[in-house]
A and B are shown apart, each in its own frame.
Chain A
Amino acid sequence: MSRRFSLSRFWAIVLKEFIQMKRDRATFAMMVGIPLVQLLLFGYAINSDPKFLPTLIVDADGGPFARTLVQAMTHSEYFDVLDVTTEDGAARALKLGETQFVLNIPVDFTRRILRGERPAVLLEADATDPAATAPALAAINVIVQSAFARDLPGPLRPLNGSAGPVDFQVHRHYNPEGITQYNVVPGLMGVVLTMTMVVITALAITRERERGTMENLLATPVRPSEVMIGKILPYIIVGYVQVTLILLASRFLFHVPIIGNLALLYLVALLFIAANLAMGITFSTVAKNQLQAVQMAFFFFLPSLLLSGFMFPFRGMPEWAQVLGSALPLTHFLRVVRGVMLKGNGIAEIAPEVWPIALFMLVAMFVAVKRYRQTLD
């Protein structure tokens, strides 16, 4: 009789965990506070569309169209024109990282435009951080064309044809989601859940062991699966509160469009939360004390943050890192969240991302139950 899973014993654990959660005000505040703080911090701080990048001008022309060009770039807000300088000075500034861009305007620029010769303009960029320059480079042609559309005198208007009056050599960067928040905020849902869920449950068993209550629990007929699932369920509810908070903030603070089915998102979130909780419990059964448990949780959290595609583009990573990243539930959950929220993906589209999360959860849960010792041996 006691060898089978008992609902009432399981429920006893659930109730106990809820009471303890209620008593531990600091942790409870953390669970609600962390998502909000992170959301506000990252949501506003992370920006992959940087503006006002320092720019130097090497103007060998000095004519009115050179000024038109520089003005247009300044107005675009992508470029912050620092100075007009010599070729040598500009080259050095670029090397030292004092400027992001150098615009080289050739001799006779104005005159050659008037002649319709499409003079070449060279925009040099410090491409050390491609993400920083890409948006500005992507915008430059549009900026130039619209500027000359206004300023060219009537007879020269035909120069505004498909080629434009100036020959700019810029690398276009395909950026389907122009607004960073659309990408970051849904991703934060996964990050916040990973962090809080793993850390909190990593403590679940080690705390019992450290406080000596484990010996008592082991002396009762309670089964490992009852303890595990009983400890997980309360935090699934906490996780749902976090998901809801983030969805509300996405909608009303960051105005992220939510195209897909929210019920579907909540369903996958359940799986994802359970996967993280199972991971935490596994840590908890391995760790000798609470400090160790927290360290393990962070050991799991950092790769999740870095290799999942949240911080850096997943396709930009080397293959081994992609393999590693694919093993993490966050990688798949990020795709699900972004897919459902931004692209309106349905079950068929997200299925390839759901099963790895489910598999991860089952494996972690299996290890946790196996590792949970019923005796003190």
Chain B
Amino acid sequence: MSSDLVIDVSDVTKKFGDKTVVNGIGLQVRQGEIYGFLGPNGSGKTTFIRMLCGLLTPDAGSGTCLGYDVRTQQADIKRHVGYMTQKFSFYEDLSIRENLDFIARIYGVPGRHEAVEGSLKRLGLHQRSHQLAGQLSGGWKQRLALAACLIHTPRLLLLDEPTAGVDPKARREFWDEIHQLSAGGLTVLITTHYMDEAERCHQIAYLAYGNLLTRGTVAEVIASAKLSTWEITGPDLPALAMRLRGQPGLDEVVAFGNTLHVSSRDPVPAEQTLAPLRTGAHRCRSIPPGLEDVFISLMNTARDNFK
């Protein structure tokens, strides 16, 4: 059973000084899964990924990545992992081809020339192969970074906010590529802030302040939050939102375009608070909570618990 677990770690902890950045996180990821990592900035996502790929040594906890010990076999892990950093980290003064060639040499890719050519073709970078990486737009840089991460045919892909600052079309193409890779058996761990991207993952985990708050499929995460959500439409919503915030039973009041989303973990008092709205100029109806409602609720709860 554990043989198809690509990542299997438990109680992983990392401290910088007296600040606990990752606090006892356990995670199991099966081969071929796309695992989404979500959470506010500074929640420890990047630190956790760096521990998985051998860039950081955990202070506590244990486990394996690709079957190698994350504490002692970092050199072996590095050979089989493709890690795409949050910030573009290839050489801006090298051309696309030179960057790919460099990485291919570093990993000792067999048939290097063909590998570089194939990579250029597959990602549609062939015509621009002599362009300097520094002159590329955000979307193209991201494609190059992905191509470089894949050139040594890794068994695990770790992507740290790969789509930040990338336009929707490029993002969609990027995700299509990720799903193809996953279908081919590659395991992908990806961090993101985008809800639509979270919904494209097989499994998601939500981190805040170094703690893993919830994980599972999108449906499981939503269900486990036990959240009730109402959608309110009508006139003067900003004023209504002001009035509803802090009312008994209501945990979140968030503007969603021309509607208000009101969420509650305790539906009985919430229904009572919302009852007057059902008769006035406003319309109020119960809706299934979205992932974003769940995350905002989780984040606020986490803030109360860990700060």
**A367, B45: Cα distance in complex, Å:** 33
Segment of B25-33, B73-81, B214-222 engaged in the interface with chain A:
B73-81
Q: Give B185 Cβ to nearest chain A Cβ, in Å.
A: 22
Q: Give B264 Cβ to nearest chain A Cβ, in Å.
A: 42
Segment of B83-91, B186-194, B200-208, B253-261 engaged in the interface with chain A:
B83-91
> Do A16 and B75 have beta carbons less than 8 Å apart?
no
> Do B75 and A216 have beta carbons less than 8 Å apart?
no
Contacts of B54 in A (CB 8 A): 219, 375
> Do B85 and A377 have beta carbons less than 8 Å apart?
no
- A177-216 contacts to B, CB under 8 A, are 211-216
Q: Give A367 Cβ to nearest chain B Cβ, in Å.
A: 22
> Do A377 and B56 have beta carbons less than 8 Å apart?
yes
Residue B94 interfacial (CB < 8 Å): yes
> Do B76 and A2 have beta carbons less than 8 Å apart?
yes
Residue B198 interfacial (CB < 8 Å): no
Binary B-proximity of A85-103 (CB < 8 A = 1, otherwise 0): 0000000000000000000
Q: Name the contact of A213 in the complex, choosing from B76, B89, B106, B132 (C-beta under 8 A).
A: B89
> Do B75 and A11 have beta carbons less than 8 Å apart?
no
With contact pairs A2-B79, A216-B90, A220-B78 given, residues A376 and B85 touching in the complex (Cβ less than 8 Å): no
> Do B105 and A375 have beta carbons less than 8 Å apart?
no
Contacts of B79 in A (CB 8 A): 2, 221
**A204, B302: Cα distance in complex, Å:** 43
Residue B175 interfacial (CB < 8 Å): no
Q: Name the contact of B94 in the complex, choosing from A13, A19, A212, A218 (C-beta under 8 A).
A: A19
Contacts of B140 in A (CB 8 A): none
Residue B11 interfacial (CB < 8 Å): no
**A66, B192: Cα distance in complex, Å:** 97
- A206-258 contacts to B, CB under 8 A, are 211-216, 218-222
> Do B108 and A8 have beta carbons less than 8 Å apart?
yes
> Do B102 and A213 have beta carbons less than 8 Å apart?
no
**A253, B91: Cα distance in complex, Å:** 41
What is the size category of the interface that chain A forms with chain B?
A: 20 to 34
Q: Give B189 Cβ to nearest chain A Cβ, in Å.
A: 14
Q: Give A256 Cβ to nearest chain B Cβ, in Å.
A: 39
With contact pairs A9-B105, A12-B105 given, residues A213 and B91 touching in the complex (Cβ less than 8 Å): yes
> Do A219 and B102 have beta carbons less than 8 Å apart?
no
Q: Closest chain A residue to B103 by CB distance?
A: A220
Residue A6 interfacial (CB < 8 Å): yes
- B82-122 contacts to A, CB under 8 A, are 83, 85, 87-94, 98, 101-103, 105-108
- B24-50 contacts to A, CB under 8 A, are 50
Residue B164 interfacial (CB < 8 Å): no
Q: Closest chain A residue to B84 by CB distance?
A: A216
**A11, B105: Cα distance in complex, Å:** 8
Chain A CB within 10 Å, residue with most, of B105, B108, B132: B105
> Do A219 and B87 have beta carbons less than 8 Å apart?
no
Residue B57 interfacial (CB < 8 Å): yes
Q: Give A237 Cβ to nearest chain B Cβ, in Å.
A: 19
Residue A150 interfacial (CB < 8 Å): no
A-B pairs with beta carbons under 8 A, tally: 80
Residue A315 interfacial (CB < 8 Å): no
With contact pairs A15-B102, A20-B93 given, residues A375 and B55 touching in the complex (Cβ less than 8 Å): yes
Residue A319 interfacial (CB < 8 Å): no
Contacts of A20 in B (CB 8 A): 91, 93-94
> Do B108 and A219 have beta carbons less than 8 Å apart?
no
> Do A215 and B102 have beta carbons less than 8 Å apart?
no
Contacts of B57 in A (CB 8 A): 375, 377
**A168, B94: Cα distance in complex, Å:** 71
> Do A9 and B89 have beta carbons less than 8 Å apart?
no
Q: Closest chain A residue to B79 by CB distance?
A: A221
**A112, B204: Cα distance in complex, Å:** 113
Q: Closest chain B residue to A219 by CB distance?
A: B83
Q: Closest chain A residue to B75 by CB distance?
A: A2
**A36, B85: Cα distance in complex, Å:** 42
> Do A221 and B75 have beta carbons less than 8 Å apart?
yes
**A16, B105: Cα distance in complex, Å:** 10
**A212, B106: Cα distance in complex, Å:** 18
Residue B53 interfacial (CB < 8 Å): yes
**A38, B90: Cα distance in complex, Å:** 36
Q: Closest chain B residue to A9 by CB distance?
A: B106
Contacts of A23 in B (CB 8 A): 93-94, 132
Residue A24 interfacial (CB < 8 Å): yes
With contact pairs A213-B91, A216-B89 given, residues A375 and B108 touching in the complex (Cβ less than 8 Å): no
- B125-140 contacts to A, CB under 8 A, are 132
Q: Give A27 Cβ to nearest chain B Cβ, in Å.
A: 11
Contacts of A3 in B (CB 8 A): 75
Q: Closest chain B residue to A23 by CB distance?
A: B93
> Do B94 and A375 have beta carbons less than 8 Å apart?
no
Binary B-proximity of A273-294 (CB < 8 A = 1, otherwise 0): 0000000000000000000000
**A13, B103: Cα distance in complex, Å:** 10
The 6 closest A-B pairs by CB, nearest first: A12-B105, A216-B89, A23-B93, A219-B83, A212-B89, A212-B87
Other CB < 8 Å A-B pairs besides A16-B102, A211-B91, A222-B106, 14 of them?
A: A12-B106, A13-B106, A23-B94, A212-B89, A213-B89, A215-B85, A215-B89, A216-B85, A219-B55, A219-B78, A219-B83, A220-B103, A221-B75, A375-B54
Residues on A lying within 8 angstroms of B by beta carbon are 2-3, 6, 8-9, 11-13, 15-16, 19-20, 23-24, 211-216, 218-222, 374-377
